[in-house]
Structure 1
Amino acid sequence: MKNQNNYADIILESNAIFTSKIGEDEPFSGIVVIKDNKIIAVDQKQNITKWIGSKTKIYKLENKLICPGFVDNHVFFTGYVWSKAGVDLSNVHNSEEALLAIEEYAKNIPNSKTILGHCLNMNNWHEVEKGSAVLDKVFKDRPVIAFSKDRSECWLNTIANQKYGIEHDKCYAEACFKLFQELLKEENIVDEYNNFSKLLASRGVTSIKEIGFDDYYGFTDILEQMELKGELIHRINLVSQPVSNNANFEYGDTCSKRFQNSFIKFMGYNLMVDGEIASHEGELLKPYKDIPDSCGKYSPDYKTLEETAQAADKKGFRCALHAEGDAAVRKSIDIIERCRLINGKRDSRHAIIDLELVHPDDIVRMSNLGITAINYVQIMNCTSKYSDFYAQDLIGDDRINNYWPYKRMIDKGVNICCGTDLPLDIPNIPLSVYFVTSRRFPDGNPLTGFNKKQSMSKADILRAWTIGGQYANFSDDKLGTIEEGKLADITVLDNNIFDLSVDEIKDVKVCLTITDGKIVYNTLNKGK
């Protein structure tokens, strides 16, 4: 009898294997051979028989595209929970209907719990309706908060304002940290994380950078238990974002020692720099076109940011600075550069996130300093029509060539990876390929593409979603490419995007996701 230990557990056979390796820009025909949790061979189809044992599952994928597993390098599980907490108010039209829906929902939850709602549309409400008075009449002693779909505003009563410090028009994530402390302790939070994990698996995501505010309010304990029980189906690169206080380095030290296995590791700190350009809160090098005397509504606290980054760098942690405007990007680079000057040169892989507007000189500096760019390559999906896009009105034609400058980053040798800021958007890698190759918004405009010179090739964007993300997370030695010896984190798309037109790419879906050699999502027929 043949020794089954010599044979594959899974064989993926396809006409389209994209390795994500530099220099291999086109997919090729062959097989990917998986044993236990590793890729043990990438071979020619005619050699398939030597890998087949009695227990081998063979997936004949024809023209389906095999890729390394995707990496979403900026997700926010707490935000995912927040975005769907409480009663769904998407179908209410006014304050009266909203109040009725909230009252009905409140009957079915314990009196001790805060009443929450989501997807509330207050666009057509009078200002007086948005106030606390309507809710206060019914709920005097019980907090009520109903958030809009984008969570940019909320409807809340007085007691909720007093308890959480949240205001109607100041309810962004960082302002809601007290509420998050409660959400992460809900009885069903493990179920929520499993749902979150399944969502990611359905999009081919096998690794994430996950943001936890402060010390993650105890949720780190839950993640540890899930890892020990073998329940995690994606790898977690955990970061702490200081919100209620300064960076908690004791927490970082503890996590670094605590997580030594392959599914969770502590990376460092996420630091917010400026705000959104769309809200005039991004810090620009030159004034806004529509507000000629302003480079941004407020100036970030660069002194504290630099102190935090230097302290984190000295302890060997990676920092990811969130900057939108070109001035904020430049000053973030300055901070990282001074970390090197003061603490010494090392393989730090510090990163800057978002990078809406970037001066060409600073891209060169990013390359020289080894700074990774974590780009929101699906960001066009957040503006349904090109006519609603704000950039040219806010920054003018003279700086438009510096907007989302992906191609320039690649040409200058900057490591690029991708994030969705989930729940800002849900990862959809084929859709992102459409956006960054066509540079068109969801309505298909402009036909010639927005700042089309900065588009990316299909190969480059897939590399950004795979090896680029793994490099940023110090995992490129074992993940991110399809090659012998790498861990078997693999995604299969139901069509070969290299053979499709730009418009056809949007309809491609993930049909198979493998994490650590185990199938975690499958819409194919069972292996033969």
Structure 2
Amino acid sequence: MIKANIILKSSSIFTAVNYKKISGYVVISGSDIVGVFEGDVKQELIGSETRLYDLGDRTICPGFCDTHTFFPGYVIEHLGRNYESVCNVHDLEEMLRYELKNNSCGEAVFGNHLPEKFLNNTEVEKLLENLFPEKPVVLFKAGHGTCVMNNAARNAFGFTPQKCNAEALHKIMSIYLNDRNFIDNEFIEYMKMLNSRGVTSVKEMGFDDYYGFTNVLKDFDNNDKLSVRISFMSQPVAEKTNISYGQKMRKVFQSEFVQFAGYNQMTDGLILGMEGHLMEPYEGTEIYCKKEIDYEQLEREVLEADYNDFRFTLHSEGDGAFHQILKIYDKCKKVNGKLKNRHGITDLELTKPEDEKKMAGLGVFGEIYTQIYKYDTYDNWVKDYENMIGHERRCRYLNYRSLIDNGVKLAAATDLPLLLPSVPEAIYYGCANYCKDKERQINIENTISIDQMLCAWTINAQYAVEREGILGTIEAGKRADLVIFDRNIFDTPMEKILETEVEMTIVNGKTVYKK
């Protein structure tokens, strides 16, 4: 009989094969799961090198997969010097003079966490122009939604201090994503952060051709430095969908740790900004969507990708966009009525049951941001959406229950850095539907069970990245990507669930995080 490297014993094992919890033990040998067994550990499995963990009732799960992350956006928060502690313009000048002296060979000067009082400040703007008349300088406020910048930066990068959304920042990505002294360490810390939250796989978004970051992925993969499995997608921003790039990436990346996953594209925008495309007008108006959406061009790009057997995920916030996306997907290649290529829809804020059934029938998966209710109070959620879309539509906002009941396979996502992955948060805000004030539950009829939530983070998420054959469940032959919570997550009262932490994360049979 095989001698195990690791044995994890617990009375709360969630395999994600079904909703049954097993009291027993998981046996790991090398990078694989040998099996999960009920009852007491067989002594013949234990050798001199075996590590046996008796975990009591602490829950064991398959490793978590976040199906929508954005490292190039996350890392902007750490780009350049941190100016959070700067109190006045004089101190800012001293710090910038230091940058001028020590960053003379750099292509641009960046900074982060600049206090808001320095934004829209003519004294600061003059300071940047005087110190850096030719070199681009951009100092971001925390969250990098706004910044201060000089004229050289405006001319070089094409964005403005008021418009610093991720898509607008694509021209600076070729600078910092190729600064190996900076980006390698940041990527290592990024993976550590994900591992500490139980995340062992992600589907990463990268603009256009990723601006050279694929070289980092290749080096990390070749040198066994990855503790997170990466499926990356190209999101067209500065150019249209580049099929030849995808074909190249598909050949270059064929390991179990890095693969090219296809293409991602935006459609409509925020409902509260009236940029979400609705099937019926916004409340009290004749407006369906303030944003111009070229569905014909989107269809051409999706069908071209589908023809070349690449996958697409499209963003949908309003039920009108949801309907149009399904019409596009319905034109893609099918096998026995279901899509040949595994396309998805992300966000899914407002949907209608008849289209949910169509989505399930086509085999389109959904990516959901279940932690989103943490961002505002119950009263604000109700007031803002009632005013914008009325009571009936507000009540079916984020209706994950209806999507699942109509047969849609839902995968967990965060749109990181919008949210950071946290399964306890996902349960609290997505299974109980509490809001920021933690007092009242909103749209409680739309919630899903803890079992369903864990499946969204495990087997369904691996389905979304086409890795369900080797990941996503605890069963013999699967790779040993596992997470252990510090308690029984099923028996924890909801008011205590946010106190839950990851105790250990295992990737490919190796412990990559331990509390």
TM-score relative to the length of structure 2: 0.94
Measure how far apart 1:147 and its partner are.
Answer: 2.0
Say whether the 8 Å CA contact 2:89–2:124 is kept in structure 1: no
Measure how far apart 1:129 and its partner are.
Answer: 4.4
Q: Secondary structure at the residue paired with 1:200?
A: helix
Name stretches of at least 5 consecutive residues in structure 1 with no aligned partner.
524-528
Identify the residue that residue 15 of structure 1 maps to in structure 2.
11
Distance change >3 Å, CA 371–CA 345, structure 1 → 2: closer
For each residue in 1:47-77, what CA deviation from the matched residue of structure 2 results, as whole angstroms up to 9, or x when unmatched?
Answer: 4312101110111111211000000001111
- In structure 2, what is the Cα distance between the partners aligned to 1:139 and 1:287? 49
Q: Secondary structure at the residue paired with 1:488?
A: coil
Q: Secondary structure at the residue paired with 1:477?
A: coil
Measure how far apart 1:33 and its partner are.
Answer: 0.2
1:463 aligns with 2:455: yes
The 5-angstrom pairing of residues 188-203 of structure 1 reads 188=181, 189-203=183-197
Identify the residue that residue 495 of structure 1 maps to in structure 2.
487
- In structure 2, what is the Cα distance between the partners aligned to 1:35 and 1:12? 12
1:452 aligns with 2:441: no
1:69 aligns with 2:69: no
Q: Secondary structure at the residue paired with 2:265?
A: strand
How many residues matched? 512
For each residue in 1:261-280, what CA deviation from the matched residue of structure 2 results, as whole angstroms up to 9, or x when unmatched?
Answer: 21111110011112222333
- In structure 1, what is the Cα distance between the partners aligned to 2:405 and 2:114? 44
Measure how far apart 1:117 and its partner are.
Answer: 2.0
Distance change >3 Å, CA 106–CA 461, structure 1 → 2: farther
- In structure 2, what is the Cα distance between the partners aligned to 1:185 and 1:157? 23
Measure how far apart 1:105 and its partner are.
Answer: 4.5
- In structure 2, what is the Cα distance between the partners aligned to 1:400 and 1:271? 26
Amino acid at match of 1:28: I
Q: Secondary structure at the residue paired with 2:23?
A: strand
Distance change >3 Å, CA 500–CA 475, structure 1 → 2: same
Percent identity, aligned pairs only, is: 38
1:147 aligns with 2:166: no
Identify the residue that residue 170 of structure 1 maps to in structure 2.
163
Identify the residue that residue 420 of structure 1 maps to in structure 2.
414
The 5-angstrom pairing of residues 291-302 of structure 1 reads 292-302=285-295
- In structure 2, what is the Cα distance between the partners aligned to 1:263 and 1:392? 45
Measure how far apart 1:96 and its partner are.
Answer: 6.6
Deviates more, 1:324-333 or 1:95-104: 95-104
Distance change >3 Å, CA 294–CA 93, structure 1 → 2: farther
Identify the residue that residue 466 of structure 2 maps to in structure 1.
474
Identify the residue that residue 44 of structure 1 maps to in structure 2.
38
Say whether the 8 Å CA contact 2:119–2:147 is kept in structure 1: no
Amino acid at match of 1:44: E
Name stretches of at least 5 consecutive residues in structure 2 with no aligned partner.
none
- In structure 1, what is the Cα distance between the partners aligned to 2:373 and 2:480? 31
Measure how far apart 1:353 and its partner are.
Answer: 0.7
For each residue in 1:193-244, what CA deviation from the matched residue of structure 2 results, as whole angstroms up to 9, or x when unmatched?
Answer: 1111111111110111011111111211221121111111111111111111
- In structure 2, what is the Cα distance between the partners aligned to 1:339 and 1:105? 52
- In structure 2, what is the Cα distance between the partners aligned to 1:90 and 1:406? 39
Identify the residue that residue 260 of structure 2 maps to in structure 1.
266
Say whether the 8 Å CA contact 2:376–2:436 is kept in structure 1: yes
Identify the residue that residue 526 of structure 1 maps to in structure 2.
none
Amino acid at match of 1:170: K
- In structure 1, what is the Cα distance between the partners aligned to 2:90 and 2:277? 40
Identify the residue that residue 478 of structure 2 maps to in structure 1.
486
Measure how far apart 1:141 and its partner are.
Answer: 1.9
Amino acid at match of 2:417: P
Identify the residue that residue 338 of structure 1 maps to in structure 2.
331
Identify the residue that residue 179 of structure 2 maps to in structure 1.
186
- In structure 2, what is the Cα distance between the partners aligned to 1:398 and 1:209? 34
1:78 aligns with 2:78: no
Amino acid at match of 1:16: S
Of 261, 274, 287, 2:281 maps to: 287
- In structure 1, what is the Cα distance between the partners aligned to 2:389 and 2:89? 37
- In structure 2, what is the Cα distance between the partners aligned to 1:205 and 1:261? 19
- In structure 2, what is the Cα distance between the partners aligned to 1:387 and 1:476? 40
Identify the residue that residue 157 of structure 1 maps to in structure 2.
150
Amino acid at match of 1:54: S
Identify the residue that residue 57 of structure 1 maps to in structure 2.
51
- In structure 2, what is the Cα distance between the partners aligned to 1:360 and 1:97? 58
For each residue in 1:304-332, what CA deviation from the matched residue of structure 2 results, as whole angstroms up to 9, or x when unmatched?
Answer: 11111000001111100012122112111
Say whether the 8 Å CA contact 1:358–1:405 is kept in structure 2: yes
- In structure 1, what is the Cα distance between the partners aligned to 2:360 and 2:146? 38
The 5-angstrom pairing of residues 298-313 of structure 1 reads 298-313=291-306
Say whether the 8 Å CA contact 2:119–2:148 is kept in structure 1: no
Deviates more, 1:337-346 or 1:417-426: 337-346
Amino acid at match of 2:47: G
- In structure 1, what is the Cα distance between the partners aligned to 2:292 and 2:390? 21
Distance change >3 Å, CA 36–CA 281, structure 1 → 2: same
- In structure 2, what is the Cα distance between the partners aligned to 1:58 and 1:146? 50
Deviates more, 1:294-303 or 1:48-57: 294-303
- In structure 2, what is the Cα distance between the partners aligned to 1:13 and 1:126? 55
What's the C-alpha RMSD, in Å, of the aligned pairs? Answer: 2.2
Distance change >3 Å, CA 48–CA 99, structure 1 → 2: farther
Say whether the 8 Å CA contact 1:313–1:343 is kept in structure 2: no
For each residue in 1:65-114, what CA deviation from the matched residue of structure 2 results, as whole angstroms up to 9, or x when unmatched?
Answer: 10000000011111121122122233456767655554555444335342
Measure how far apart 1:400 and its partner are.
Answer: 1.0
Identify the residue that residue 512 of structure 2 maps to in structure 1.
520
Q: Secondary structure at the residue paired with 1:312?
A: helix
Measure how far apart 1:145 and its partner are.
Answer: 1.2
TM-score relative to the length of structure 1: 0.92
- In structure 2, what is the Cα distance between the partners aligned to 1:391 and 1:517? 46
Of 235, 244, 248, 2:242 maps to: 248
Amino acid at match of 2:139: A
The 5-angstrom pairing of residues 207-226 of structure 1 reads 207-226=201-220
Measure how far apart 1:249 and its partner are.
Answer: 1.0
- In structure 1, what is the Cα distance between the partners aligned to 2:317 and 2:231? 23
1:363 aligns with 2:359: no
Amino acid at match of 2:209: D
Distance change >3 Å, CA 341–CA 483, structure 1 → 2: closer
Distance change >3 Å, CA 430–CA 116, structure 1 → 2: same
Say whether the 8 Å CA contact 1:437–1:502 is kept in structure 2: no
- In structure 2, what is the Cα distance between the partners aligned to 1:246 and 1:160? 25
For each residue in 1:372-400, what CA deviation from the matched residue of structure 2 results, as whole angstroms up to 9, or x when unmatched?
Answer: 1101111223x143344332332221211
The 5-angstrom pairing of residues 18-29 of structure 1 reads 18-22=14-18, 24=19, 26-29=20-23
